[in-house]
Amino acid sequence: MQKPIWIKNPLAILNNKCAGGLVVKDNTILELIGLGESPKSISLSDLDIFDASQHVVIPGLINTHHHFYQTLTRACPVALNKPLFPWLQSLYPVWARLTPKMLASASRLALAELMLSGCSTAADHHYLFPAPLSDAIDIQVEAVKELGIRAHLTRGSMSLGEDQGGLPPQSTVQNEQTILDDSRRLIQEYHQTEDGAFLQVALAPCSPFSVSTDLMQASAELASEYDVRLHTHLAETHDETDFCLKMFGLRPVDYLEKVGWLSSNVWLAHGIHFNDEEIARLGKAKVGITHCPSSNMVLSSGICRTLELEKAGCPVGLGVDGSASNDGSNLIQEVRQAMLIGRLLYDANEMTHHSALRFATQGSADCLGRGDIGRLDVGAQADIAFFKLDEMRFSGAGDPLAALLLCGAHKADHLMIGGQWRVKNGEIPNLDIDALLAEHHQLGQELQQL
C-alpha cells in the first residue's frame, strides 16, 4: 500500500496557503503545509517525501472540450485556411471513414498528449457515429482506463444531414431513437456519481446546425432523468447565428432557452458571439463556457468575452478543442494562449497569468460540475501537475509561476491523478510512445489518403 506523500517545499505553488507543500494520502489532499512548517497530520517517519524544490506545482489541468479523433487529421490539406463551415464541409467526408482502430489510436494519443502537458481530467465531445463506429464511446472508455486519466466522455450526436438542411453528410448522422437509446445505455453502464469519479458521461448533441429541435429537447429530458450534464457547441461563428435565425427564427441563446438548455447543468463550447443581454442571461442561469482560444484563432472565429462571462456568473473553463483546428492537444500551451489572446480584449492587469490558470483549473472544474478537482485544498482529489523550469526558455525568469505561461511551458515533469503517479520524469509509465506514434501516424495518413 502506498504511503502518504509530503510534496515538500515547491519552487512555487498555486495556493499561497501551502508554500511548504501538501500531504497526499490515498487519493486526496490531506493537509496544506505553510512555509517553513512540517506536516502535523502524520509523523515524518510514516511519510514518503517528494522534493518539489525544482517544481512549479499546480492543480492538474482540466480540458473541457476536445475531439480526440481529430488528432488523425492535423494540418489536413483539404481543410487549410478555411473558416468553420467550409472547414467542416471539407473534413466531414474524411471523418466519415473513421474505423474503430483509428478511433482507439486517436484517443490514446490525444490522452497521452494531454497528460504530458499536465492535464489530469479530459472531456471529449464525440459526435461522429458512421456505421462501423456504433460503439465509439466504449472504445474511448478503454483508452481512458488504460491511461489512468480522469474523463468526462460526452455522447455526442448528429441527426440533421445534408438532406434535412444540416451540414454533415448523411453517412455520419443517426436515427434519433438510436441516439437516445445508446445515450441511456452509456449512462447506465459507465457514469459514476461519487466524489472522485474517474468516468462520467454527458449528453452532447453536436450543434444547432446538426441536430433537430426534438433531439435537443429529448436530450435535456434524458439528462434531467439521470442527473447528467449537457454539452454542445454554441455561438462559435456568425454563420451559426445566421443559420439559427434562418432555421428557427431565433438567435443561438434564444434557441438554447427554447429547447430547455438555459441551466446550470449545461456547458457550451466556444461561446464567442454573445451580446451583453445574452451574457447576463447566461450568467444568471450559471451556464458554463469553454474557451477554446487556439481553435478560435485557427478558424478565425473570434474571441470569447471570458472575464465578462465570469463576472456575469458563468463558470469559464478551457479547452484545446479538436486537434484538426488547434492543431494540438497541449493544455498548458492553451493556458498561455488564453492569457495572450485575452489581452487583446482586456488590460494586462485584468487578464493575468492567474486568470488563465483559473480558467484551466477551478473554472473548468465548475463547468463539469466538479467541486472535488481543480483545487489544491484539503479534501480535494490529489490531481497535481509538476513543471520544471530547467529549459533555455526559462533562464533568467524571476517569478516561477508567471514564467510557466510567459516563458511557454509545454511539458509536465510529473503528473499525479487521484494520488497515483501517471507521468514520471516527463514519461507515461508502461506506455510505448514510439509504437503508438508509429501506429497513429500511419492510420492518419490512411484516413487522409483514402
Separation of alpha carbons 187 and 398, rounded Å: 48
- Give the pLDDT confidence score for residue 450 in this predicted structure: 67
Helix (H) or strand (E) holding 8: strand 5-8
Distances (CA, A) of 61 to 58, 79, 247, 394, 449: 8, 29, 38, 21, 35
Domain-wise residue ranges, the chain: 5-58+379-423, 61-367
Residue 158 and residue 127 in contact, taking contact as beta carbons nearer than 8 Å: yes
Q: Please tell me the predicted confidence (pLDDT) of residue 290.
A: 98
**What is the 8-class DSSP label of residue 33?**
E
DSSP calls for 289-357: EEE-HHHHHHTT-----HHHHHHHT--EEE----TTSS----HHHHHHHHHHHHTTTS-TTTS-HHHHH
Diameter of the chain measured on Cα atoms: 69
* CATH of range 5-58+379-423; options 3.20.20.80, 2.70.98.10, 3.40.190.10, 2.30.40.10: 2.30.40.10
Find, among 243, 238, 252, 244, the residue nearest to 300 by Cα. Answer: 238
Q: Do residues 187 and 204 touch, judged by C-beta distance below 8 A?
A: no
Q: Which region holds residue 391: left if phi is over 0, alpha if psi is between -120 and 50, else beta?
A: beta
Give 200's strand partners.
152
C-beta separation of 143 from 107 below 8 A: yes
Q: Are 200 and 152 in contact (CB under 8 A)?
A: yes
**Hey, what's the cell of 355?**
486568470
- The model carries a pTM of 0.98
Bridging pattern class, strands 414-417 and 384-388: antiparallel
Half-sphere exposure of 287 (CA within 13 A, CB side): 30
For 402, residues 6+ apart whose C-beta sits below 8 A from its C-beta are 353
Kind plus residue range of the DSSP H or E element containing 146: helix 136-147
Cβ(167)–Cβ(88) below 8 Å: yes
In one-letter notation, the amino acid at residue 232 is T
Residue type, 161: G
Structure confidence at residue 274 (pLDDT): 98
How much is the pLDDT for 209? 84
Range 61-367 has CATH code 3.20.20.140: yes
Angle at the Cα of 73 (from 69 to 76), degrees rounded to 5? Answer: 160
- Residue-wise pLDDT tens for the chain (450 aa)? 789 999 999 999 999 999 999 999 999 999 999 999 999 999 999 999 999 999 999 999 999 999 999 999 999 999 999 999 999 999 999 999 999 999 999 999 999 999 999 999 999 999 999 989 999 999 999 999 999 999 999 999 999 888 887 778 888 899 999 999 999 999 999 999 999 999 999 999 999 888 999 999 999 999 999 999 999 999 999 999 999 999 899 999 999 999 999 999 999 999 999 999 999 999 999 999 999 999 999 999 999 999 999 999 999 999 999 999 999 999 999 999 999 999 999 999 999 999 999 999 999 999 999 999 999 999 999 999 999 999 999 999 999 999 999 999 999 999 999 999 999 999 999 999 999 999 999 999 999 986
Which three cell numbers, joined as nine digits, stand for 448?
487522409
Instruction: Give CA–CA dist 44/181, Å, rounded.
Output: 53
In whole angstroms, give the CA distance from residue 232 to residue 219.
11
What DSSP assignment string belongs to 57-87? EEEPEEE----GGGGGGTT-GGGTT--HHHH
- Residues in CB range of 290: below 8 A, 6 or more apart: 64, 65, 267, 268, 269, 270, 271, 316, 317, 318, 319, 364, 367
Length of the chain: 450
Residue 287, phi then psi, degrees to nearest 5: -75, 130
b/e per residue, 346-372, with b = 16+ CB within 10 A? beeeebbbebbbbbbbbbbbbbbbbeb
**CA-based nearest residue to 301, from 291, 311, 310, 289:** 291
